[in-house]
Amino acid sequence: MKKTRSPRRGIVAALAGVAAAATLAAAFAVPAAAATPAESSTTSSETGNVNGYRNVGYFAQWGVYGRNFKVKQLDTSGAADDLTHINYSFGNIHYQTLKCFIANKAQGEGPNGSDGAGDAWADFGMSYDAASSVSGKADTWDQPLAGSFNQLKQLKAKHPNLKVMISLGGWTWSKNFSKAAATDASRKALVSSCIDLYIKGNLPVIDGRGGAGAAAGVFDGIDIDWEWPGSQNGNVGNYVDEVNDKANFKALLKEFRTQLDAYGATSGKKYLLSAFLPANPSDITAGGWNDPENFQSLDFGNVQGYDLHGAWDPALTGHQANLFDDPKDTRAENRRFSADKAVQMYLKAGIDPKQLGLGMAAYGRGWKGVASAEPWNTATGAAPGTWEAGNEDYDKLKTLGTEYYDAATGSAWRYNGDQWWSYDNKQSIERKAQYVLDLGLGGGMFWELDGDRNGELIGAFADKVRTGTPGDGDTPGTGGGTDPGTDPGTGECAAAAWSATAVYSGGAKVSFEGAEYTAKWWTQGDKPGTNAVWEKAGTCATDPGTDPGTDPGTDPGTDPGACAAAWSAGTAYPGGSTVSHQGSEYKAKWWTQGETPGASQWGAWELVAACS
């Protein structure tokens, strides 16, 4: 059946404090059957990347209906060449068994609408003719695997480094995560069922399709989209345990990692585990999302950089995907969200930047009855949208009215004299790609692929990161390691002594108590040998003339050097910029404007040395 509405993922309610439901339209269903064949060994285990960066896109299950967006579009548009990972959204958790399942049952309304819901027809039942198939061959009536699963498998055959993940939950299907994660037994059962269904590919038999191993080789990993552990900001009807969800979430990630690795040891393949990371500080805290221990289980996570505002606040326009805070934002301080503010919560907690991706929007949020092109003005309600009010695809917005872009906030919008739409365009995407490069993040992510049919935004991001210093792809924490040709165990310590007050970026080298260490990510005050941020490179002989209390690179007996240009509050500084302020020289760790050097040890400015 035709899907009439697109449930946008994200913080529609989590940020706005409003239970805004985003329902799936029709699908069909029956319970899944168990089976246990081995996965095909022909799947490539190599990790694809764009100049060492991830470019992740969500393929919405329901997009094959009203939008008529099939997997082949990713091939013919060239988007598949710019993508590294496709997250197929979504998989549901059964309300009774608390296990992964696939069925044909329409999504309903209200708090129990997701119970037993699924769309096996879209997943693996729908037949494709030769013209709509990635391979150019029509499906046969008796093949066990059809639908989007088979099309994704064909796409991977043409693009062998492309990874496909199954994303579990989302806004509409996160209801039962808390119950499934509540005990060791329920966690083990959930994870085992998800691996059996999606990784081993043991599908239920529905209308003649499916069966043991039918989907083997389709999925390379699992993406966790639990919205939101420990928080009441999720969808109406979600089970939430505010006391125990945080610990249970951590344990659930560990269980996924353990079982994926165990199965990988038998199949000879590395299976990925990722997560959709919230932007709302209260949700981050409630679920412990920025706990570094969680990222020992995750390969990477994607930080939500959209749905920061919307027509759930019907009388006020404003940015839904701004990179930086807007000083003109009229909302209460605790509701002035930005993508950067969210990213910083993860970085300051000690998360390796390479494990973070920046979420971007292939759609917009809009208002009507707006008298001004400037943001943060009054409106009379949600603007009309093709699939739901206040929501429209990038493809349909890119030619509406007049386009505006603000470099200071990294935000774009369009205005036609009545409707005001906040969205991402090529300019804002390129700015966000530069932000990824400046901070050394692992890449980017798009929700959702069918809003950008020709891959314009996806390509803009990929092209920009191709111009930067190569990243580390899916190998977090390994940048800046020891040169294998160097013997760190001989001679005096080559690196400067560690200082408790100095700021170190990922890859920085220090010496401390007879050993040399390499920083795996940004750090300050974390003593080498006692914290996971420092990786021991080897032993060395301490130079008795080195004062371990001196900041690296500063010779206290040398006169300060000449100062760089003075910092200015009105100037925008890209990452790497050098300025002077009050007798000291500072280097920008990322893009910044208006932040005073030295004002915060967690801020954008890294102290380099004294100057005169």
In residues, how long is the chain? 612
pLDDT in tens, 144-166: 999 999 999 999 999 999 999 99
Other CB atoms within 10 A of residue 38 CB: 13
- Rounded to whole angstroms, the Cα distance separating 284 from 280 reads 6
Least confident of 94-98, 140-144, 569-573: 569-573
Residue 493 CA to residue 513 CA, distance in Å, equals 10
Could you tell me the pLDDT band of residue 590, with boundaries at 50, 70 and 90?
Answer: low
Q: What is the pLDDT of residues 170-179, one digit of tens each?
A: 999 999 999 9
pLDDT of residue 536: 84
| Angstrom distance (rounded) from CA 417 to CA 415 | 6
pLDDT at 417 over 90: yes
Distances (CA, A) of 79 to 55, 220, 276: 10, 19, 21
pLDDT at 248 > cutoff 50: yes
Residue 503: band (very low, low, confident or very high) from pLDDT cuts 50, 70, 90: low
Residues 384-413 have pLDDT tens digits of: 999 999 999 999 999 999 999 999 999 999
Q: Determine contact, residues 392/8, Cβ cutoff 8 Å.
A: no
Summarize pLDDT for 178-194 with one digit per residue, the tens: 999 999 999 999 999 99
Residue 12 has pLDDT above 50, yes or no: no
Confidence of residue 598 (pLDDT cuts 50, 70, 90): confident
What pLDDT sits at residue 484?
Answer: 30
Which domains does the chain possess?
Answer: 36-360+426-466 (3.20.20.80), 480-554 (2.10.10.20), 572-610 (2.10.10)
Q: Which residue has the higher pLDDT, 69 or 553?
A: 69
| Residues above pLDDT 90, as percent of the chain | 69
The catalytic residue positions are 227
pLDDT attached to residue 571? 80
Q: State whether residue 504 is helix, strand or coil.
A: strand
**Is pLDDT at 7 greater than 80 in this prediction?**
no
**Amino acid 558: pLDDT:** 38
Q: Is 407 helix (H, G, I), strand (E, B) or coil?
A: coil
Question: Considering the entire predicted model, what is its pTM?
Answer: 0.75
pLDDT at residue 482 in the model: 29
Which amino acid makes up residue 256? F
Average pLDDT value for the chain: 85
pLDDT at residue 330 greater than cutoff 90 = yes
Residue-wise pLDDT for 215-240, tens only, equals 999 999 999 999 999 999 999 999 99
Question: Is a pLDDT exceeding 50 seen at residue 600?
Answer: yes
What pLDDT is recorded for position 48? 64
Query: Taking the CA of residue 511 as centre, how many other CA atoms within 13 Å lie in the half-sphere pointing to its CB?
Result: 23
Q: Does the structure show a pLDDT above 60 at 23?
A: no
- Are the CB atoms for 495 and 534 separated by under 8 Å? no
Tokens 């064949």 correspond to: 37
Buried b / exposed e along 523-535 (16+ C-beta atoms within 10 A) = bbebebeeebbbb
> Lowest mean pLDDT: which of 66-80, 299-313, 539-553?
539-553
Q: Which amino acid is at 255?
A: E
